[in-house]
Each structure stands twice: as structure tokens, then as C-alpha cells.
Amino acid sequence: MTERYSTLSHLECPKCGARLDATVVQGTCDCGSPLLARYDLDAARGMSPAGRAPTLWRYHEVLPVSAESAVVSLGEGMTPLLPLPVHGKRIGVPDLWMKDEGLVPTGSFKARGAAVGVSRAAELGVRGIAMPTNGNAGAAWALYAARAGLRSLIAMPVDAPVITRAECVAAGAELYLVDGLISHAGALIRKALASRPDYQDVSTLKEPYRIEGKKTMGYEIVEQSGRRAPDVLLYPTGGGVGLIGIHKALDEMRELGWLTPETRLVAVQAEGCRPIVDAWEAGAAESVAPAAPTTIAFGINVPKPLGDFLILRALAETEGTAVAVTDEELLAAQRELAADEGAFVCPEGAACFAALIRLRESGWLRGDERVVVLNTGSGVKYPDTVRVDVPTISADGALPDPA
């Protein structure tokens, strides 16, 4: 058996079946579909992450970077899988867990895709990366690009979390704010690339390796559970890369002989932007963009995800479902979870906790399942989600007596 750092073999189109060379820079398939990385999984069967450092690179055999020396890392991965017994009991799902992606560089799970995507882009000779973003992805890619010595061109809606601007600027990115949605930012980036030939378009699913970084969340959840997959996994779904990635990871782990049972995957969206939920309920294979999408959970304000058919396929193949919640529900869930468990999650993660309540009430969840919620980032990047209304006391004053 060979001992290759990566067992990457080729790229494959999940729509038309085309097979592409993985040793050169690739974007999407000629048919328009995102591409998926494929590995020589027989050669990866001996992968033994247990003794390795606690980063996502412990799964390097099933990642696309060909040598350890080409890894661009800020220490991302092996985030906690936390039990939530108090909150789980309260909502009738006692075996409840949270994968906490607040504990990665940049405070958001976007770091995983950026680490792997930037590493592979730099290894293949890319000199600059360009992308539209709802904030966190742009911040992560700009910072990893800086670490790799690549330039970055980022466009984000003016409504994106303000802190992500500071991250891009600190990283030295060329940053533009856009008075519109991420789809408008995407159009601006595509036009700008015409005069920037040495930049790669690394928009969501327009290059094949971001998904490989995201899939490591699936590997970690299974490793941290003693090679047991959860019964149900809830994922806040905008572009859906993590959901597609975790689905891919579960498939790979079955091929590697790690797993047998299936995990039901649940896509969670906001009522103000629910293209996947609508498509799922209609039994459609693709989504239709809503007219005026809006939600406080900005990371999932994605009107028409490029990988919509892959998301819907993942839900169907795993007998999962799709659920939308209101902003009021998700903000209430964010507060309740923090008070119950001390975990201050991002609004996107909070949407999943709100969705749990709906799924339990509808009977889709019986209550005896092992359920993992993927919290995609730290609440500290969203100062406006919590209403703070507390007294200010003068320096020589006194605190009120207890009520």
C-alpha cells in the first residue's frame, strides 16, 4: 500500500458524470455544475487520525493537498462536539449535541473551506483569489490568502456583518461593499475578473476544494462520537456547501468501512429566504430564487444556491427534510441556548435550534434520536442579535439591591 499524503485521483461532475484532471486549476464543469473531488479510497483505508494534531489536516489522505509542506493552516478544525443536556431536555431531545464552529480562526466555519481551498489554489499556482461573500467567507479567504501570500478581491453586501470588513482590510484584501445582495456582488466580481486574469473565481462551489474543507466537519463528528454517526444532523443552509460536504464525507466514510447507518440530514433556512425548503416541499430537483430575500441570519440569505440540486439530493438520499424558521424564533432560541448551556451561537446556528422545536412538535423527531446541530460560527461576530438594556451606574454609586 502506498502512503501518499493525499489520495486525490480526479474531479467528477455530479450532474453529467464528466471526469476532469485534478492536477490543474479547475472551476465548474462545462455543463455548469460544481465539481467534486474523488479519491483512491482503497489507498486511504489505513488512515488513522487518532494520534494526529487536533486540526482538520488529520484527514489529509482524503483532502486534496498533495504534501504537508503545501498546507496553509491557522490551526483550524477539531472543534468541540458539546453535549447540551439541559437544553435538550427542555425541548424534548435529550440526546442533543452541538458541533461548535465558533472555535476556528475567524470565528466561523468558513475557515475550513478557506484553509483547504487556499492551500490547494496556492499549490496549483493561483496568484490571487476573488469572491462575493455574505461576510464570513470573504474574511476567512482573505486571511488565509494573506497567510499563503496570495492577493484577494472581495465584494460583500453593505448589510454583511461589519466585523468581516475589518478582517478583510486587516488581511490586506481589495474590498468593496455592494449596495445589494450576494448575487449582485457575484455579478460584479465576474465582470471584474475580466481585467484580472491571474485571479481565480473562488465563489461558492465555483472551485472544487472549499467543499473538501467543509466535509471535515462530518469526519470530526464521527471520530468524536467513537465512529458513530448521529441519527439526525441539522445544518443552517445558505449555499449549502457544508451540507453537501458532510453528505460526501458520510459516503466516503462508508466506503472506508467506518460506518454503516445513515444520518438524516436537515436543511434549516429562514422564513425570509427559503428556496430549499420550498423546493423540498414541492418535490422539485432545483430551487427558485425568492423575490426579496431577507433574514437577520445573514449567512443563509442566499436566494439561489448553485449547489441546490446537490442539497436536495442529500436530503432525499438520507431521508432528511428541510425546515424554515422566523427571525423571532431563531433569536429566542439563541438566548435560550445561551442561558441553558452557556453557548452563545451565531444566528444561523440558532436557526437550527429553533427548527428542532418545530421538528419535535410535528413528530418528525420522536425525541429518542441522537441529534447534532451544526453551529456555524460564534455569536460574538453578531453584536446586534442580543438586545442589551441594562442600567449604567456612576463610578461612586451603588448597584440596586437584589429583586
Q: Which residues in the 50-79 window bind a copy of itself by CB under 8 A?
A: 54-55, 72-75, 78-79
Helix (H) or strand (E) holding 129: strand 128-132
Q: Which residue, 104 or 243, has its beta carbon nearer to a copy of itself?
A: 104
Q: Which residue, 180 or 272, has its beta carbon nearer to a copy of itself?
A: 180
Helix (H) or strand (E) holding 190: helix 182-193
**Measured between alpha carbons, how far is residue 306 from residues 40, 195, 283, 288 in Å?**
27, 24, 18, 11
Please report how close the Cβ of residue 311 comes to a copy of itself at its closest, in angstroms. Answer: 26
Please report how close the Cβ of residue 18 comes to a copy of itself at its closest, in angstroms. Answer: 32
Asked if residue 113 lies in contact with residue 210, where contact means CB atoms within 8 angstroms, the answer is yes
Residues 317-376 that bind a copy of itself (CB under 8 A): 334-335, 338-344
C-alpha cell, 380: 460574538
Q: Which of 149, 226, 283, 363 binds a copy of itself (CB under 8 A)?
A: 149
Interacting stretch for a copy of itself, rule CB under 8 A, among 187-195, 253-261, 277-285, 356-364?
A: 187-195
Residues 193-222 that bind a copy of itself (CB under 8 A): 195-196
Identity at 352, one-letter amino acid code: C
Q: Which residue, 76 or 308, has its beta carbon nearer to a copy of itself?
A: 76
Please report how close the Cβ of residue 67 comes to a copy of itself at its closest, in angstroms. Answer: 17
Q: Which residue, 86 or 316, has its beta carbon nearer to a copy of itself?
A: 86
**Exposure pattern of 335-350 as b/e (b: 16+ CB <10 Å)?**
ebbbebbebbbbbbbb
Please report how close the Cβ of residue 336 comes to a copy of itself at its closest, in angstroms. Answer: 9
Please report how close the Cβ of residue 350 comes to a copy of itself at its closest, in angstroms. Answer: 10
C-alpha 399/C-alpha 92 separation (Å) is 38
Q: Which of 1, 2, 191, 283 binds a copy of itself (CB under 8 A)?
A: 191
C-alpha 252/C-alpha 196 separation (Å) is 37
Q: Which residue, 247 or 381, has its beta carbon nearer to a copy of itself?
A: 381
Residues 107-136 that bind a copy of itself (CB under 8 A): 107
Identity at 195, one-letter amino acid code: S
Q: Which residue, 364, 344, 376, 356, is CA-closest to 94?
A: 356
Interacting stretch for a copy of itself, rule CB under 8 A, among 231-239, 289-297, 316-324, 381-389?
A: 381-389
Q: Which residue, 111 or 357, has its beta carbon nearer to a copy of itself?
A: 111
**Exposure pattern of 56-88 as b/e (b: 16+ CB <10 Å)?**
bbbbbbbbbbbeeebbbbeebbbbebbebeebb
Residues 235-264 that bind a copy of itself (CB under 8 A): none
Please report how close the Cβ of residue 380 comes to a copy of itself at its closest, in angstroms. Answer: 5
Please report how close the Cβ of residue 176 comes to a copy of itself at its closest, in angstroms. Answer: 5
Give Cβ neighbours of residue 289 (< 8 Å, ≥ 6 apart). Answer: 183, 275, 303, 304
Q: Is 292 in the site for a copy of itself (CB under 8 A)?
A: no
Residue 308: how many CA atoms within 13 Å on its side-chain side? Answer: 20
C-alpha 74/C-alpha 144 separation (Å) is 8
Q: Which residue, 97 or 209, has its beta carbon nearer to a copy of itself?
A: 97
Question: Judging by beta carbons within 10 Å of its beta carbon (0-12, 13-18, 19+), is residue 92 exposed, middle or buried?
Answer: middle
